[in-house]
Amino acid sequence: MVFPSLTALFKNEEEKKDEDGSDDDSGTYYYNTEASGTGLQRREPPSGGSSSLPDTFQTSHLLFYERFKAYQDYMLGDCKPSEVKDFTADYLEKTVEPCDWLALWSTDIFDVLVEVRDVEVKDLKARVRLVLPLQCDTRGVELHEEAMTSLLEATQHKVPLQELQVVYEESGDIDQTALALEHVRFFYKHIWREWDEEEEDDDFDYFVRCVEPRIRLYYDMLEDRVPAGLVAEYQSLLEKCSKCFQQFSALRSGLNADSDSELDNVSMVEGLKLCDQLETFKRKLRIIENPLLRYVLAYKGNTRQQCVQSRGPRASGAKVVHVVTASCSTVQLQSLLSARLIPLCSSEDTEIQFHREPVSAVDSCYQGDLVIVLPGMYSVSSSIFIPDSITIEGRTLTPCLCRSDANTGKPKMSIQTNTIQGDEMDISYEGADVEPGVNACTC
């Protein structure tokens, strides 16, 4: 959706620069504050909703160039990674009203109306108080005035700026505040990485190297210009990188630089391994964030998909059972034979093949084949294309080998369905519930 008002706001700023013959990069006013009324849209509650809360500004649907300009010209400029927090604080100090405005404090559990009494830009927090009588929407819990008051007292009446949604006003006086909070919220949710400020080579333009590529990637994914498999891989890499960074940070904080104990020496070795893993994840993320390299990866994936042709049934008419397992004991093999393989292979034209991971098993399939995935953790680094009609099922060999669902008691099998593509699939699990997961198969 195009916001004509925002387009006009940027245009007014450009005309002002041309008239003055200078470019004030303070970023205090990047739209026409003399215009009568708000230039932003109203976010209305969902149809059929019974919320008593006031409407807020609709700022989450900004276009690429609107975010691009805000970060480049007003919020970040040419700052280094180590300067991001200072630049952000300076931007908020110039754009956000310091006090006396209403907002919804929005979390996963509740939305409550508060009044902002002070803004602490360095900490990205606001000091608020409840608007009485209490106006609150909750999700799955009941919260009363006493509970909300106790919660605010526990936080010293400070809440993160990213959790505040500015209440809609037609005057236009609070537009800058609503936009500034949206830019900060989007930045820390989709752009900023907790490891960015620890780059060894800090002497580079953070916007050029990191912000612009990540904004482009976000909008490419939003508009379905990135293959689903590549999106899943990027999200998986982000999770792994974040987990690795947290482990590395915890290990680093626990080390004593003056200690020569054996435990600290072991921790240092483990820290070096984590550091190496972290750099590997970051390098892979940068490859996907690079538009040209991302195009090459997508092209290779599409080319492979186009090359995969339907094989149909085997000329001999034989059916093959493909068993996927990283390792298998004799007891497990006997259980599999008696419970599944012997009944399946009663005819002479059925054979059994073993594979160490799901991709090779599926790639070897002809129409009518069966893939049996045994308990284990399998890493899938590429999309799985299934041009023929096959059956994929998981097998629980013994109860102790599988994690069980806390509610149903049934074993679980996880399949990353967004990387499996095919015309017709029958995915089942003997005695288990099938659910989407991070790994190709986890039992």
Domain ranges of the chain: 4-198, 227-307, 319-442
Higher local confidence (pLDDT), 436 or 5: 5
**Taking 50 as the threshold, does the pLDDT of residue 66 lie above it?**
yes
Pair 371, 430: CB distance under 8 Å: no
**Taking 80 as the threshold, does the pLDDT of residue 431 lie above it?**
no
**Taking 80 as the threshold, does the pLDDT of residue 127 lie above it?**
yes
pLDDT at 440: 36
- What average pLDDT does the segment 146-157 reach? 94
Q: How confident is the model at residue 397 (pLDDT cuts 50, 70, 90)?
A: low
The percentage of the chain sitting over the pLDDT mark of 70, rounded to a whole number, equals 72
pLDDT digits (tens, 9 = 90+) for 184-215: 999 999 999 999 988 766 778 999 999 999 99
pLDDT at 376: 81
Pair 372, 323: CB distance under 8 Å: yes
**Taking 50 as the threshold, does the pLDDT of residue 94 lie above it?**
yes
**Taking 70 as the threshold, does the pLDDT of residue 436 lie above it?**
no
Higher local confidence (pLDDT), 439 or 409: 409
Neighbours of 379 (CB within 10 A): 9
- What average pLDDT does the segment 36-57 reach? 76
Owner of token pair 């009944």: 343
Sign of CA pseudo-dihedral 149, 155, 157, 162? negative
Output the pTM of the full model.
0.65
C-alpha pair distances (Å), 228 with each of 99, 232, 247, 384: 44, 6, 29, 12
User: Of 15-19, 182-186, 250-254, 351-355, which range is least confident?
Assistant: 15-19
pLDDT digits (tens, 9 = 90+) for 250-284: 888 877 655 566 666 677 888 889 999 999 999 99
Element (H, E) at 130: strand 125-130
pLDDT at 47: 52
**Taking 50 as the threshold, does the pLDDT of residue 35 lie above it?**
no
- What average pLDDT does the segment 92-100 reach? 95
Q: Which of 132-141, 212-221, 366-375 has maximum average pLDDT?
A: 212-221
pLDDT digits (tens, 9 = 90+) for 104-116: 999 999 999 999 9
Q: How confident is the model at residue 2 (pLDDT cuts 50, 70, 90)?
A: very low
**Taking 60 as the threshold, does the pLDDT of residue 349 lie above it?**
yes
**Taking 60 as the threshold, does the pLDDT of residue 412 lie above it?**
no
Percentages of the chain per state (helix, strand, coil), in multiples of 5: 45, 20, 35
pLDDT at 240: 94
Q: How confident is the model at residue 39 (pLDDT cuts 50, 70, 90)?
A: confident
Contacts of 52 (CB under 8 A, 6+ apart): 135, 137
Average pLDDT, the chain: 78
Alpha helices in 290-313 (DSSP H): 291-307
Q: How confident is the model at residue 364 (pLDDT cuts 50, 70, 90)?
A: confident
